[in-house]
Chain A
Amino acid sequence: MLTAAELTLLGRLDLAYRRSRNGLYAGERRSPRAARSPEFSDFRPYVPGDDFRQIDWRAYARLERLTLRLYVAEEEACLNVVLDASESMALGTPPKWQAARRLAAALSFLGLAAMDRVTLGTLDGRSLPPLRGRDGVGRIWQFLEGLAPVGEAGPADLARQRWLRPGMTVVISDFLTADDDGVAADWAPALAALGGRRQELVLWQVLAPDEERPQITGDLKLVDPETGRDREITITPAVVADYERALAALRDRLSRASEATGGRFLSSDSGLDLEGTMLAGLRVGVVKRG
């Protein structure tokens, strides 16, 4: 799935969580909650009800005020990777499917390497149980290699995912879906629903270069493999320009919908290697240098 060089590259990166973690178990991620741990965090004045055991008596001797000594809590974080495995992901040159699958593998690897609890699944509901530690890398890759892009997927499928744990949820898709009327599907309701489930959303759009800047011209019949619909069109440079404007508008809607839930939106094309793809993540702050 990933080469040794790519794993070395990923070894220098880490996932950048924004929200406080709420893991069930102690982990390696800093928690905003104070707790007992070897790492000092801060002082704060004592208020009735606080644990006496946390009073810093040496400070009281100097200051004659009751002060609590706080420590950093380290908890595990949860990473949910949701991969769009619909038939449209097989299109594009180079195909989006390969790029999306490798991206899912890379993000899962980053989570597993940081001892996060990683859950990987697809929009159509197939998923792995939560994994933790590098031992899970093999299962994740095996799962990804067993996937094939078939069928349809859309925002309704995202809202239906029940296996998502509170944490960072990365949705990898082309987000090119239409509703029954043939207009662009609205992802905002599904994203809002997920945001309500304490999800830090990251929408990672993967498109092929020829989907970003179409090279086709003339009288054609366009076929949507997911829905089976086809329509005739005469493509001219002006039509291509319109297409590019429509794509920009779609991205803008996705960005606003994700930001409304405190999430982020980014895109990369399937022509990039893993390093280029991770650079896109670095620019948006989804990953950081470890």
Chain B
Amino acid sequence: MQLIAPLGLLAALALPLIVLLYFLKVKRPEVRVATLVLWRRHLADRQANAPWQRLRWSALLLLQLLAAFLITAALVRPGVTGAAGVGKTTVVLIDASASMRTTDVAPDRFGAAVARARQLAGSLAPGEEMAVILMGEHSQLLAAPTSDGAVLDSALDRAAAGGGRSDLGEGISLADAILSGRSGGSIILLGDGHSRPPAVPPRVAAPLTYISIGSSDQNAALEALTRTGAGTVFLRVANFGRQARDLKIEMYGDGRLADVLPVHVDGNASTDLTWTRVPAGTQLVEARITPADVFNLDDAGWLLTGAPPPHEVLLVTDENGFLARALSLRPGVHLTTVAPKDYKPGKYDLYVFDRIVPPGTLPDPALVIDPPGGQGPVPLGPAIDPGGVLPANARDPLLNDVDLRDVHVQVAGRVTAPPGWRTVISAVAGPLVLAHEGEPRIAELTFDIHHSDLPLRAAFPILVDNLLSYLLPSGFENQAFALGKPVILAAEPGATEVDVTTPDGRLARLHPPLSPFTDTLVTGVYNVRQLVPGGVRSSRFVVEFNDPELSRVAPGAAAIPFEEERAQQAPAVRGTLELWPWLVGAVLALLVLEWFIYLNPTGLRFPRLRPR
């Protein structure tokens, strides 16, 4: 037996207080009656005019003392240590993949999963604990193990489905970490089976139960919407259900319905369409599948036909074909390459210095690659073998869609991120890519890309494009971003205020320097309005959903290595059995009894201790 909250003993002060109150005499109003005879059974034994009276024992007093004692006992939270069958910890993993927003169950799969988690929280037995993990692209611990239903409810209130695909391995890893050292735990996965399977089968520390949410597999998606020429748009419509469907595609030009395209799509197939009647001068094309289905994130697509803003980029390098090619891939970029000896500061939107740092003040914005020793915005130290390459923060928007798993760096300069800089890509021995927070916009690579296999990986052009989005002013303009991903809003020079209006009409007012814009859980066109010296600059970007794996909404089986053998061999769970629920129940019963006695005072009379 142990007392978990011994401070609760202070409540025992109520015991003498209750007795003291019984010494006090109640001042009662006088009522004249014709006779006392008819009230005789309930009249007090004696009458006194003093403010104090002799303590007279009564059933009510004893019940109140007993209730106060039990309340005190409950407040100190006594527990029986080593009790068998208690102390179980359940970790609930809630899949927050975008497919959980499917509405084939009410209100949607994610809502049903949260409701089921609430049900589990409500059925916790005394001594049992529950933790909640929101399993999105990165798992998030919503509630540490607790038996407090209010805490779990509050945590579940904060849960929301994301826009991408959840990582099952990361979720199970976090659950394992929670259950380490706790015997008798269990893991419950609530999802629709669309989590990203772990690269290697994870070690599951406790029996895992998968509860599948969802029932329908009927979904049609707009897989592609691109411009193939002047006045021509290409569409691909996919049917992820088993039955063939006849659909209609509504085509809008700048918000006005311009055409309706009928299309027949067989089950588990896709159909390509070409729309050639794009109205002249159209800036925004929208395609929408009708009728809508249970998963509406992929039912519409948007195409901003305006040209991306032109940017002048100066690359100062002796020779770097990989970098020049990656920079040129971005629409609107006009690249000028000069040798270091020919470098002259000019009017460029971005300066890229490859293995050179110009004397004097570094122009900005700038991307500096492997600056010579002792120079550069962040001077590099001696050369080191950096070791394995890792994302410093997987949620960094500069690493959107950048896969670093096959990237190796042979040599890098030793450096430590100074204040005001953040590490984007790290290695075991130190940072590899640094970015300056806010103005001026500068990024630095601490290694020569020729001394790594990064240029040979798909991650390189994506990383360069992300860096351009960050460094170039208005790099987001007319771009399309994935649902739920942060968008880097690089403001125009001198912008004092940036308003972002989401497709559902919400307005976010931002002030430079801007953090990545993360409120991108709604598909559609986002309007950006920047207050710049001399006027207002309006631009747009698109957030869309395009993940065929998630569009295949049929609930599937999670890749779960179920370790039944371990569960059977697990020792009997032992924990602390808290007794306060029973004590509180006893207090409630006492209160009911006291109320009954108060209403029926003759029903239970306490014998006199002294003769009258």
Instruction: Give A residues with C-beta under 8 Å from B.
Output: 88-89, 91-92, 96, 174, 176-178, 182-184, 207, 211, 216, 219-225, 229-239, 242-243, 246-247, 250
Contacts and interface: CB of A to CB of B under 8 A. Distances in A.
Given A91-B33, A238-B603, 6 more contacts: A178-B35, A222-B36, A222-B43, A223-B31, A223-B33, A246-B39
Contacts of B43: 222, 231-233
Contact of B33 (A224, A232, A242): A224
Contacts, number: 104
11 contacts: A88-B35, A176-B35, A176-B37, A178-B36, A182-B40, A211-B33, A221-B28, A222-B32, A238-B602, A238-B603, A239-B601
B600 interface: yes
A231 B262 CA distance: 94
Contacts of A92: 34
Interface string B582-603: 0000000000000000111111
Interface in B388-411: none
A237 B600 CA distance: 8
A218 to B, nearest CB: 8
A183 B40 CA distance: 8
B599 A238 contact: yes
A243 B39 contact: yes
B39, B41, B600 interface centre (most CB from chain A within 10 Å): B39
A88, A182, A232 interface centre (most CB from chain B within 10 Å): A232
B34, B36, B39 interface centre (most CB from chain A within 10 Å): B34
A247 B602 CA distance: 17
B32 to A, nearest CB: 5
Given A236-B601, A238-B599, A239-B601, A221 B34 contact: no
Interface string B20-58: 000000101111111111111111100100000000000
Contacts of B28: 219-221, 232
Contact of A242 (B32, B36, B37, B41): B41
Contact of B38 (A88, A96, A246): A246
B600 to A, nearest CB: 5
A177 B35 contact: yes
Interface of B: 26, 28-44, 47, 598-603
Nearest to A237: B599
A220 B30 CA distance: 6
A232 B48 CA distance: 9
Q: What's the dominant secondary structure at chain A's contact region?
A: mixed
A182 B42 CA distance: 13
B602 A91 contact: no
Contact of B26 (A183, A219, A236): A219
Given A231-B44, A231-B47, A242-B602, A216 B31 contact: yes
A242 B29 CA distance: 21
A231 B43 CA distance: 6
B600 A176 contact: no
Contacts of A239: 39, 42, 601
A246 B37 contact: yes
Given A220-B28, A221-B31, A222-B31, A247 B38 contact: yes
Contacts of A207: 34
B42 A233 contact: yes
Contacts of B601: 234, 236, 238-239
A231 B46 CA distance: 7
A234 B601 CA distance: 9
A178 B43 CA distance: 15
A194 B435 CA distance: 118
B599 A211 contact: no
Contacts of A224: 32-36
Contact of B34 (A88, A216, A232): A88
A177 B36 CA distance: 9
Given A232-B28, A233-B43, A242-B602, A178 B34 contact: no
Contact of A233 (B34, B37, B39, B602): B39
Contacts of A211: 33-34
A182 B45 CA distance: 12
B38 A243 contact: yes
The 9 closest A-B pairs by CB, nearest first: A176-B35, A232-B44, A231-B43, A88-B34, A176-B34, A221-B28, A246-B38, A184-B37, A238-B600
Contacts of B38: 176, 184, 243, 246-247, 250
A220 B34 contact: no
Contacts of B33: 91, 211, 222-224
Nearest to A184: B37
A220 B31 contact: yes
A174 B38 CA distance: 13
Contacts of A221: 28-31, 47
A230 B43 CA distance: 9
Contacts of A236: 598-601
A177 B599 CA distance: 27
